[in-house]
Amino acid sequence: MKARQNGALVLAMVSCLFLSACSDNDDAVTGLFPDEPEPEIWRFALEEIGGSVQDAWAQEFRRRISELSEGQVQVEIYPYGSIGTSPHLTQLVEDGRVHLAFASPGHVADDIPEAGIFLLPFLFPESDEANRRTLADSELLTLLQSGWQDAGLQLLDLVPEGWMIWTADRPIQSPDDFDGLRMRTMTAPLQAEVFRTWGAEPVPMPYSEVYDALQLGQVDGQSNPAFAIAEMNFHEVQSVMTVPRATRFVASVVSNRDWYRNLDDRHRQWLNAARAGMPEFIDEVQRNYNRRRLQQIRESGRITMERLTDEQRERFREASLPARDSFLERAGERGERILQRVQSLSRDEGAD
């Protein structure tokens, strides 16, 4: 009797499974008989932590790609710290281990001398809008693209992340104030060269080591946009912020060159459609992040803030001009054309 009961139970279970196998709507069964192809994964490595400008760019890009491809492409985001420091991330893209990454000129100019153009102070237009127009100039982009391609990379976008602010244990109102100051710089030699023109003692190091180095007194100051100072808590271990409006932090979004060239038309279209409109999106984001976080830093009461006057800025501008020669030495003839193009665009916009 018991055996007959068990037999009936097994039969009921099998029938149930069979019936549900015939149903299109049952998730468990869809899993057993998949008719959808697995989504393609694009790995995207960031030089910044969650909640940063780069993270906002990547999250929006992920959302757009997923929507455009109807889920056929999924972007996996690796925030800073999960797979390496900036030079490692660029190397991973060059080796084809990740598809996309952020590559900041302050680091990548070591590999791509043309990227050093973004490290030169008082060169690009002052207003956000004019700067955006300059970064979108097709002649400039073609010249830059060649530099990125020589390194096995495809330059996909340039992302301005806000004005660099100097933080230190003192206000920096003239190049004399930099005298003997150990300034942490990003790792590209040209970045160090710029601070040397002002009399500082540059100390190149990865982003992840800056907080401890400031706290332990291994360096006296550093330079980054307000949002980064706040999210990395540099304001906790520094006493004065100086706003020189000398250089913007501009990051590049890159992919592996061969991967990009081998994308089929459909994937290339999704990629290009997702990128369209991103400059306007991220400009709005970076402005909000920088404004809000600067406000938070000031409210914390842990650090004071000084803005340079135009006369003070002029002294820094003049002192920094030899860095343009260092750029030209590194970036050669193409660098010269890049510099001339930026100068001419900036002049048209009423700067430089």
Residues of this chain that interact with ligand 6CS (CB under 6 A) are 47-48, 86, 104, 106-107, 161, 186, 207, 224-225, 228, 249
Q: How far is the CB of 16 from ligand 6CS (least distance, A)?
A: 55
Which amino acid is located at 77 in the chain?
Answer: I
C-alpha separations of 262 from 43, 149, 228, 265, 296 in Å: 16, 14, 35, 9, 45
Minimum distance, C-beta of residue 32 to ligand 6CS, in the bound complex (Å): 45
Please give the helix or strand (H or E) that residue 203 lies within, else none: strand 201-204
Q: How many CB atoms lie within 10 A of CB 10?
A: 10
Smallest distance from ligand 6CS to CB 259, Å: 23
Q: 102 has which bridge partners?
A: 253
CB closer to ligand 6CS out of 134 and 167? 167
| Radius of gyration (C-alpha) of the chain in whole angstroms | 25
Question: Least distance from C-beta 255 to ligand 6CS, angstroms?
Answer: 18
Tell me the closest approach of the beta carbon of residue 164 to ligand 6CS, in angstroms.
9
Going by C-beta distance under 8 Å and a sequence separation of 6 or more, which residues neighbour residue 37? 72
Q: Which residue lies nearer to ligand 6CS by CB, 224 or 326?
A: 224
By DSSP bridging, strand 248-256 and strand 153-163 are antiparallel
Distances (CA, A) of 71 to 3, 41, 67, 128, 189: 49, 10, 6, 34, 42
**CA gap 227, 286 in Å, rounded:** 8
Least separation in angstroms between CB 274 and ligand 6CS: 22
Q: How far apart are CA 216 and CA 218, in angstroms?
A: 6
List of residues 6+ apart from 135 with CB closer than 8 A: 158, 160, 250, 279
Other Cβ atoms closer than 10 A to 150: 14
Residue position matching structure tokens 């492409």: 73
What residue is closest to ligand 6CS based on CB?
207
Nearer to ligand 6CS by Cβ, of 129 and 209: the residue is: 209
Q: Which lies closer to ligand 6CS via its Cβ, residue 61 or residue 207? A: 207
- Bridge partners, 307 (sequence order): 243
Instruction: Name 15's Cβ contacts closer than 8 Å, sequence gap at least 6.
Output: none
Instruction: State the nearest-atom distance from the C-beta of 111 to ligand 6CS, in Å.
Output: 14
Q: How far is the CB of 310 from ligand 6CS (least distance, A)?
A: 26
Closest contact distance (angstroms) between CB of 154 and ligand 6CS is 20
Of residues 74 and 233, the one with the C-beta less far from ligand 6CS = 233
Between 53 and 339, CB nearer to ligand 6CS = 53
- Sign, CA dihedral 329-335-341-343, equals negative
Nearest residue (CB) to ligand 6CS, 166 versus 207: 207
| Residue (232 or 338) nearer to ligand 6CS, CB | 232
For ligand 6CS, the closer CB: 121 or 267: 121
**Spatial distance between the Cα atoms of 170 and 31, rounded to a whole number of angstroms:** 62
Q: How far is the CB of 138 from ligand 6CS (least distance, A)?
A: 26
Q: Which is nearer to ligand 6CS, 57 or 198 (CB)?
A: 57
